[in-house]
Structure 1
Amino acid sequence: MSIHTSDTGTAPVPSARDTSAAPVSAAGWIRRPDELAALVERLQAGSEVALDTESNSLHHFPERVCLIQLADPAGGVFLVDPLALADLSPFAPCLADPEVVKVFHGATYDLSSLKRDFGFRFARIFDTMVAAQFLGIAELGLSALLQRYFGISPTRSRQKDDWTARPLTPEQEAYAAEDVRHLLALRRQLLGELVARGREAWVEEECEALAELPAAERVFDPDDAFRVKGAGALDRR
């Protein structure tokens, strides 16, 4: 089987244990159950995975997770499309597996949203923002950290885009992929500094607490609908 790298091409899914596999530059789309099953098998064979999400809170009410981005140690970057997949439950064992480290940057929103929309449980979280805080780093944004450690220039933010729209533009795909592409390398860099300063246990304790955060609640507030882009032109009646 294959995983789509764009609407016009596909790329095979190499085993996570195949260290000779060259890192892919394009992100593989996960839109079918068989693609999801292959991805989960690959991720569970590894020891860590980077995650991020994109939602549509500025454009739709109620909000939902519209995209899940993942990256693995072999260099694979994947875009899971919850709008195309009716069932994401095959992901659950991997996310709850304490043998697989789940790496986020600023995990709070992602974790609560993933729990709310899909009922996921998490074990073994590593939040690069938390790690940077315990190292006393002043600029905690992902772009700032990537610039600091790897000299990677920040890309234009697309957090205000409507991530419900399909197909995504090439620029959106690139932005989504870059959010996770370097997270595992960043974790290793930060972890080395934490160990050197004897602060690794502090971060582990904080991340254990993050993993237990409750799901975001869907509480109806009539005013929430008017926070959606363009809602100001509507009559509140």
Structure 2
Amino acid sequence: MTVFYHEGDLPAGLDLGKSIALDSETMGLRFGRDDLCVVQLSAGDGHAHVVRLNRPAYDCPNLKALLVDPSVLKLFHYGRFDIGMFALHLGVDTSPVYCTKIASKLARTYTDRHGLKDLSRELVGVDMSKAQQSSDWGAATLTPEQLAYAASDVLHLHALKDKLDAMLAREGRSALAQACFDFLPQRVKLDLAGWEDCDIFAHSWI
């Protein structure tokens, strides 16, 4: 594995193919309070690109162009959060998208363990470390351990997608999953508009 580090933006002309795994690291998990700090990507080739963003300008035209490219499928695990962060801080509507967490919940109904660590261990035999999950991603310099952690979150999403697609097809839920992926950017807009903790489809409202 090689981790390519980029300061501020992806290099111009970088071609990662038509299906790209993405994740982000932030200062916390609250929209409107916590900054987006790092975006990591992989083409599914065993290598990763890690972009440390320049805050608060977020001047990253190459990354932004990739996120909105309709010909490139963006793979996430819990994309709802990352897509929301991209909308807030980069000003882009990311699409088209695929979320392995949504796919797992639809396909793996025999378990309630849908985290990336559990999913990777079961489906692709990879035991991921989460030791750096809560480290300071806003630091001026990222440590080798942070870079390795960021890369690990995107290296296996293509393989997970293949496994989950087969399970979804087996259970007859491929079309349902695709409808959920198509709706995900709209769910993010509800989050950012103030309905983050509300299920507007529920009969009762608490």
What TM bracket, shorter-length normalisation?
Answer: 0.7 to 0.9
Match of 1:193 among 160, 164, 167: 167
Q: What code does the residue aligned with 1:204 have?
A: Q
Secondary structure of 1:160's match? coil
User: How far off its partner does 1:98 sit?
Assistant: 2.9
Match of 2:12 among 37, 42, 53: 37
RMSD, matched Cα: 2.3
Give unpaired runs (5+ residues) of structure 1.
1-24, 220-237
User: How far off its partner does 1:142 sit?
Assistant: 0.3
C-alpha distance in 1 between matches for 2:72 and 2:160: 17
Over 3 Å counting, the alpha-carbon distance change for 1:215 and 1:177 in structure 2 is: farther
C-alpha distance in 2 between matches for 1:208 and 1:137: 25
Who is 1:207 aligned against? 181
User: How far off its partner does 1:128 sit?
Assistant: 0.2
CA contact (8 A) 1:26 1:77 kept: yes
In the TM superposition, 1:24-103 aligns within 5 A as: 25-31=1-7, 35-39=10-14, 42-43=15-16, 46-57=17-28, 62-83=33-54, 86-103=58-75
Who is 2:122 aligned against? 148
CA contact (8 A) 1:115 1:216 kept: no
Secondary structure of 1:75's match? coil
C-alpha distance in 1 between matches for 2:123 and 2:131: 20
Over 3 Å counting, the alpha-carbon distance change for 1:76 and 1:130 in structure 2 is: same
Who is 2:143 aligned against? 169
Q: What code does the residue aligned with 2:50 have?
A: L
In the TM superposition, 1:88-167 aligns within 5 A as: 88-135=60-107, 136-138=109-111, 139-167=113-141
**TM-score with structure 1 length normalisation?**
0.72
Q: Cα deviation per residue 1:95-124 (whole Å; 9 max; x = unaligned)? A: 223321110001111111110000111222
C-alpha distance in 2 between matches for 1:201 and 1:96: 23
CA contact (8 A) 2:44 2:155 kept: no
Structure showing greater radius of gyration is 1
C-alpha distance in 1 between matches for 2:53 and 2:118: 29
